[in-house]
């Protein structure tokens, strides 16, 4: 049962609510949402690999469905809006095909501009025996308007390796050579995926980590903007939006995931959502028998877990 508090998640579409989470089919619900409503779309669609929440389709009809959904998302974006499509692999016969190279042409046909293809890498997953184990997926970031897309780099800078390094000659001699706010995080992001022991794990098979979405929201949407996810799952996008003080709208077809998602949003609104902080250090792998490296002092930001 969804626990609704007075200030909790709205279960009907309300663009003024902190978060709306709708139960049903995105294709039909989105038709009732006006053009140019959202600042940012962040989503991860089904990959057509036979998960419990998908209906098997041929590759062509799967891509046709994706095209219709992407077109509808673009209609809902404000000028200068951004859209992030997080994808992995699909299976065709014995081949595992990366979905990004099949999805990119759809966006380009619709007139959008690819800004980044971010590699999301993680340390765990299935152990392959006849090929290298898959340890990355991608996030395709497109903008509706190539010159005006919202981007706040300062909001997502990460610490410099040598923050005290200074120019040793020339006009800037003695001044810091790097940006004191930190460096650009780059386009390869190492963020643990949500497997069985992850603090965010629910019964959803494929939820993405809150931290992944937090970085996208911080960089690609204004404070108080509205973030949308048409394949909401257990509402990770909406939870990240609450943590980053943005409003959100999500839609999910499955009533169990919808209920879990609504409760997670309410926890985020109350400040009690359990999540792995973006800033938390990645554990260094070690060989059997090796001693653990000394633990780093937890930062304030990583204390949530």
Q: Does 244 bind ligand SAM (CB under 6 A)?
A: no
Binders of ligand SAM among 165-204, rule CB under 6 A? 204
Give CA–CA dist 181/178, Å, rounded: 9
- Tell me the number of residues near ligand SAM by CB under 6 A: 19
Q: Does 207 bind ligand SAM (CB under 6 A)?
A: yes
For residues 211 and 278, the answer to whether their CB atoms sit within 8 Å is yes
Q: Does 231 bind ligand SAM (CB under 6 A)?
A: yes
Binding ligand SAM by CB under 6 A: which of 4, 7, 25, 166? 25
299 alpha carbon, distance to own chain's centre: 23
Q: Does 253 bind ligand SAM (CB under 6 A)?
A: yes
Our CA dihedral for 269, 273, 279, 280, rounded to 10 degrees, sits at: 170
Tell me whether residue 135 or residue 157 sits nearer to ligand SAM (CB atom): 135
Interacting stretch for ligand SAM, rule CB under 6 A, among 109-117, 126-134, 183-191, 226-234?
A: 226-234
Give CA–CA dist 260/223, Å, rounded: 26
Binders of ligand SAM among 257-286, rule CB under 6 A? 257
Give CA–CA dist 252/254, Å, rounded: 6
Q: Does 27 bind ligand SAM (CB under 6 A)?
A: yes
For residues 167 and 173, the answer to whether their CB atoms sit within 8 Å is yes
CB-count exposure of residue 207 (10 Å: 0-12, 13-18, 19+): buried
Q: Does 234 bind ligand SAM (CB under 6 A)?
A: yes
Bridge partners, residue 133, by sequence: none
**Residue 129: CB partners within 8 Å, gap ≥ 6?**
none
Smallest distance from ligand SAM to CB 26, Å:
4
Q: Does 44 bind ligand SAM (CB under 6 A)?
A: yes
> Other C-beta atoms within 10 Å of 55: how many?
9
Tell me whether residue 99 or residue 269 sits nearer to ligand SAM (CB atom): 99
Binding ligand SAM by CB under 6 A: which of 206, 267, 279, 298? 206
Tell me whether residue 25 or residue 109 sits nearer to ligand SAM (CB atom): 25
Q: Does 20 bind ligand SAM (CB under 6 A)?
A: no
Give CA–CA dist 128/154, Å, rounded: 39
Q: Which residues bind ligand SAM (CB under 6 A)?
A: 25-27, 44, 46, 53, 204, 206-208, 231, 233-234, 236, 251-254, 257
């Amino acid at each position: 049962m969804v626990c609704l508090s007075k200030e909790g998640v709205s279960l009907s579409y309300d663009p003024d609510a902190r978060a709306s989470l709708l139960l049903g089919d995105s294709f039909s619900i989105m038709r009732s949402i006006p053009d140019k409503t959202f600042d940012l779309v962040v989503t991860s669609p089904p990959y057509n690999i036979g998960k419990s929440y998908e209906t098997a389709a041929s590759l062509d009809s799967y891509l046709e469905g994706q095209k219709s959904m992407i077109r509808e998302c673009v209609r809902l974006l404000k000028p200068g809006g951004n859209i992030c499509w997080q994808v992995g692999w699909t299976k065709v016969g014995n081949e595992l095909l990366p979905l990004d190279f099949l999805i990119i042409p759809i966006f380009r046909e619709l007139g959008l501009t690819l800004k980044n293809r971010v590699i999301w890498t993680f340390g765990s997953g299935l152990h392959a025996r006849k090929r290298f184990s898959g340890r990355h997926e991608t996030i395709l970031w497109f903008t509706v308007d190539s010159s005006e897309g919202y981007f706040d780099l300062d909001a997502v800078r990460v610490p410099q390796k040598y923050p005290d390094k200074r120019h040793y000659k020339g006009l800037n001699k003695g001044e810091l050579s790097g940006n004191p706010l930190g460096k650009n995080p780059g386009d390869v992001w190492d963020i643990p995926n949500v497997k069985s022991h992850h603090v965010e794990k629910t019964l959803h098979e494929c939820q993405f980590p809150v931290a992944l979405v937090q970085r996208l929201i911080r960089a690609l949407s204004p404070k108080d903007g509205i973030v949308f996810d048409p394949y909401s799952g257990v509402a990770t996008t909406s939870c990240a939006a609450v943590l980053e003080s943005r409003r959100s709208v999500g839609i999910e077809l499955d009533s169990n995931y919808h209920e879990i998602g609504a409760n997670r949003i309410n926890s985020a609104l109350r400040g009690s959502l359990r999540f792995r902080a973006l800033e938390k250090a990645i554990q260094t792998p070690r060989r059997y028998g090796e001693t653990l490296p000394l633990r780093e002092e937890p930062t304030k930001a990583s204390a949530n877990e």
